[in-house]
Amino acid sequence: MTHQAGKTTAFWQQVLKDTELRAMQDTLDELYSELERKNTSAQRLADVILKDATLTPRVLTVANSVLHHGQGQSKDGTLTQAIIKLGVSGLRAICFTTALMDTFLKKGPSRPELHQCVLNSFENAIHARNIAEKSGFNTEQAFVAGLLQNLGELVFWCSPIPDCVEYQQLVAYAVDTPAQAFKRLSGMDFEDMSKALAREWSLGELLQQTFSAEITPATKAVHLGRRISQASKQGWESPEITQLLQTQLNDLGFDIIAGMSFMKQGAEEARALSASYLPAGADVPGVSEDHTAAPAEPEPAPEPAPEPAPEPAADAAESTHQPAPRRATPLIRS
């Protein structure tokens, strides 16, 4: 593999590292210090989160989705219950992801790819949780592991790398995908980055297992959740969705109609959850929903315009002359 001259893979990896630390320093320093204390309690952790007016509603929103809570409980009570059920690694994972999304969705450039990545993360999480619940596994762990499947890609889109000339040149001129360009620069792919983050921040044993060759019922639930999210981007009537209905979902006891409803309900919940993070009017391409809109009513035909009086031939030739189109200027000069 060849790398861009002038900047090493270590340089680009440090850019990503700085991106992580910015999110952590903005909101999570005190929380992580408390998490490291041996004698900490769920109440003390809840108290720390409640001090942050930005972090509290975000964590609550995700915690409610993890635990299937309603919205009628107090913030303090819900957080305490969530912390007890999620455990330290689960809380750490949710707070890390929440801080990352919140910091860069608010302060960073508006990127449709980042918006899509956030939606994908919530889709993975909701589908994984629902499958774990259907299969009798730990839903909290499945949700957290599903949420963080795209963590490396999420950090990438939050970082300044997509704005760098080196990255843009690769995408524009080498016809690289974002994932390929990222690997050329950093020597890592998105999954490598996710693995490294999962280890570094102790984001849960199940998450790390999903990135390994280890196959367990719990990892299968997370992988199936991600497959549903990916397949739905092709449309609900796509061959990918049909295959899932006829195989894995059939194995879970769903017939075709029930299986389709199961997946669509999960996608709807994920969109609602991601809406609490994404800016209003966010452009999210490839959303997993039916886009069959009612045909627009035809506009009334305009009144015929009066025909202009004939002009001399010389003037007519001049009026039909069109200037030559301007040549597009590359955004990036080599």
The residue extents of the domains of the chain are: 9-280
Amino acid 170: pLDDT:
86
Higher pLDDT, 160 or 123: 123
Taking all residues of the chain, what is their mean pLDDT, rounded to a whole number? 74
Task: Find the length of the chain.
Answer: 334
Query: Is the CB of residue 204 less than 8 Å from the CB of residue 89?
Result: yes
pTM of structure: 0.72
Amino acid 265: pLDDT:
94
DSSP conformational letter for 290: -
Percent above pLDDT 70 for the chain: 69
Amino acid 107: pLDDT:
62
Measured CA to CA, the distance from residue 279 to residue 321 in angstroms comes to 46
Amino acid 28: pLDDT:
66
Amino acid 109: pLDDT:
64
pLDDT of 271 higher than 80:
yes
- 121 CB-near residues (< 8 Å, 6+ apart): 97, 146, 147, 148, 149, 150, 151, 154
Identify the CATH homologous superfamily for domain 9-280: Hypothetical protein af1432 (1.10.3210.10)
Q: What is the pLDDT of residues 125-149, one digit of tens each?
A: 999 999 999 988 888 888 889 988 9
Amino acid 35: pLDDT:
72
DSSP reduced 3-state for 276: coil
Higher pLDDT, 306 or 107: 107
Give kind and range of the element (H or E) at residue 60.
helix 55-67
Structure tokens at 36: 């490291």
State the burial class of residue 322 (Cβ atoms within 10 Å of its Cβ: 0-12, 13-18, 19+).
Answer: exposed
Percent above pLDDT 90 for the chain: 21
Please state the rounded mean pLDDT for residues 195-211: 84
Measured CA to CA, the distance from residue 32 to residue 25 in angstroms comes to 10
Query: Is the CB of residue 134 less than 8 Å from the CB of residue 211?
Result: no
Query: Is the CB of residue 208 less than 8 Å from the CB of residue 165?
Result: no
Q: What is the pLDDT of residues 245-269, one digit of tens each?
A: 999 999 999 999 999 999 999 999 9
